[in-house]
Amino acid sequence: MLGYISRRVLATIPVMAVVGLFVFSLLYLSPGDPAAIIAGDQATPADIERIRASLGLDRPFLVRFGEWAWRILHGDLGISIFTNLPVTTMIGQRVEPTVSLMCVTLVFAIVVAVPLGVLAAWKAGSLIDRMVMGLAVAGFSVPVFVVGYILAYVFALQLNWLPVQGYTPLSQGLWPWLSNLILPSVTLGLVYIALIARVTRATMLDVLSQDYVRTARAKGLAQHNVLFVHALKNAAVPIVTVIGIGIALLIGGAVVTETVFAIPGLGRLTVDAILRRDYPVIQGVVLLFSFIYVLVNLAIDLFYTILDPRIRY
């Protein structure tokens, strides 16, 4: 197992290198010039050129890439072109809101989606099943920002139960922290709930038709035992896989959700950086997301061994 983990961790290095090269090349080739944006409307071409030179953007691709890669190897993601702050500082400022949003969304989605999927499988073909699947389709179909606006209108503006926007750090108390995250998490979680509920249902349907389930029922086990102890445990591997894959969905959805609820997270940092062509920030954030995604996949693979003792690495 340790050997497997070591190999997988080592394998992240070439993955990150490819991601780094890809992101750097993409930004190099994409149109847009941060120097022109900084210089503003009144700048002369000479001004823009001087700013470009002061930012080091006038140097050849390979020189810039080499310097950037060398800094990355030393744990330095560079300095933001616009804010003049270290990219690590900017990411550090934004990590907590995004991690909080993703964790609360994840917990909320799993707690809601798995029972719903089990229920739909158990009552397959019934009205309950159709309602759950209808909700899943709606969850997939309705854009995140529409859900966000509706929830904010109802629960913040009309009922005044929750704040419209913003983020309060966990250090200022559990409820202030959570109150800012409930609406965004529900908003972001709906797509995720739809995905997990559908996969749970499909997997459970398959498992529930297995002989050992019939045997469990024949033994007179209570329905909830059959569903959640026998069937769900054996259906867990595909569900966990989807949860892992869905982390990418969460990262993408966080961009919109953070904008709608004015949460100062990594999603907004990414969008702002892209619109301004703040290359060091874009590169740093994409690398971070890629790294997180690789680690999540590793964690999911390891989790399989806990869910299914037959799986060994």
Binding site for other proteins (CB under 8 A): 31-33, 36-45, 47-48, 50-51, 54, 80, 82-85, 90, 92-97, 99-100, 103, 149, 152-153, 156-157, 160, 163-167, 169-172, 259-262, 264, 268-269, 271-272, 275-277, 303, 306
Backbone phi and psi for residue 164, each to the nearest 5 degrees, phi listed first: -75, -40
End-to-end alpha-carbon separation of the chain, Å? 6
Q: With 0-12 CB in 10 A as exposed, 13-18 as middle and 19+ as buried, what is 228?
A: middle
Are the C-beta atoms of residues 290 and 19 closer than 8 Å to each other?
Answer: yes
Minimum distance of other proteins from residue 139's CB (angstroms): 21
For residue 26, the minimal CB distance to other proteins (Å) is: 14
Smallest distance from the beta carbon of 257 to other proteins, in angstroms?
11
User: Which residues fall within 8 angstroms of residue 141, CB to CB, at 6 or more apart?
Assistant: none
Decide whether 69 or 107 has the Cβ nearer to other proteins.
107
Of 202 and 241, the one with the shorter C-beta distance to other proteins is 241
Quote the least distance from Cβ 216 to other proteins, whole Å: 21
Q: CA 185 to CA 100: how far, in whole Å?
A: 9
Taking the complex as a whole, the smallest distance from the CB of residue 303 to other proteins amounts, in Å, to 8
Nearer to other proteins, 210 or 259 (CB): 259
Asked if residues 203 and 118 have their Cβ atoms less than 8 Å apart, the reply is no
At its nearest, how many Å lie between other proteins and the CB of residue 131?
30
Query: ∠ CA(51), CA(52), CA(56), 5° rounding?
Result: 115
Q: In which residue are the tokens 């419209």 written?
A: 164
Closest separation in Å from C-beta 37 to other proteins: 5
- In degrees, rounded to 5, the angle at the alpha carbon of residue 227 between the alpha carbons of residues 222 and 233 is 130
CB 280 within 8 A of CB 80: yes
The residue (of 46 and 62) whose beta carbon lies closer to other proteins is 46
Nearer CB in complex with other proteins: 83/210 = 83
Nearer to other proteins, 16 or 37 (CB): 37
CB-nearer residue toward other proteins: 83 or 241: 83
Measured from the CB of residue 192, what is the shortest distance to other proteins in angstroms?
A: 18
Query: What Rg value do the Cα atoms of the chain yield, rounded?
Result: 24
User: Whose Cβ is closer to other proteins: residue 33's or residue 67's?
Assistant: 33
